Amino acid sequence: MKTITEQKPFDEIKAALGEAEKVYLVGCGTCATMCHTGGKSELLGMKDKVETIGKKVTGWMVIPTACDELTRDALIESAEDIEAADCILVMACAFGVQTVTLYLNKPVYPALNTLFIGREESPGCFTEVCMQCGSCVLAKTAGICPLVRCAKSLLNGPCGGSVDGKCEISPDTSCAWQLIYDRLAAQGQLDKLEEIEPIKDWSTSQSGGPRKVTL
């Protein structure tokens, strides 16, 4: 899984830091490093910015995988520098931020916006692949997610607005339902398009409240 992130505007970060005088920085060596939002160079860049507004950085580290439970051990190793800080600024996805929050009794602030689960299609170009709806229809749509790839999230597409295989929202965006049609055709499965997908039950998504799985 790759969680795609982008750095928040520095003014927003500055507002979150508020009156804090000393800050400890945490990055993530997995997704955020891949996205160039929370690796070593981004942390050092953030350190400069935070110091520019008159705050002291008591230390920083890039945790191998910030959402992992080993984060706890990493935080213990740097306990002294963390203790010296008024707050923690985390350059990881929201999962990483919440993992750090779990183990520290200090204010923890996100420096990144968590955008989506995605794939790196070409260097530096990330595309959303799944919104975790909780009721996957990929078996009927040739492995292409209509919820994230179609601008209208149609489950019974296409909408009729595509031109030359491109979505009506932009000539740079492929029509998801054209992609689905082409792939089903290549696999001799066009009959799947004759089945009407019923209205989606969104209670399996985050719309149904916090989700929990117990094994």
Footprint on this chain of ligand SF4 (rule: CB under 6 A): 130-133, 136-138, 145, 147-148, 150-152, 154, 157-159, 161-162, 167-169, 175-177
Q: In a 3-state reduction of DSSP, which class is residue 23?
A: strand
Q: Distance between CA atoms of 146 and 150, rounded to whole angstroms?
A: 5
Query: Which residue's CB is nearer to ligand SF4, number 52 or number 132?
Result: 132
For residue 141, the minimal CB distance to ligand SF4 (Å) is 8
| Residue 155, helix vs strand vs coil | coil
How far is it, in rounded angstroms, from Cα 115 to Cα 129?
A: 12
Least gap, CB of 168 to ligand SF4 (angstroms): 5
Q: What minimum distance in Å lies between the beta carbon of 106 and ligand SF4?
A: 35
Residue 115 or 130 having the CB closest to ligand SF4? 130
Cβ proximity to ligand SF4, 41 vs 206, nearer residue: 206
CB nearer to ligand SF4: pick between 50 and 145: 145
Burial of residue 174 (number of CB atoms within 10 Å: 0-12, 13-18, 19+): middle
In the complex, least distance from residue 177 CB atom to ligand SF4, rounded to whole angstroms: 4
Q: Where are the alpha helices (DSSP H) in 66-123?
A: 71-77, 79-83, 94-103
- Residue 106 or 183 with smaller CB distance to ligand SF4: 183
Please report how close the Cβ of residue 138 comes to ligand SF4 at its closest, in angstroms: 5
Structural contact between residues 58 and 26, judged by C-beta atoms closer than 8 angstroms: no
CA separation, residue 160 to residues 72, 178, 199 (Å):
52, 10, 19
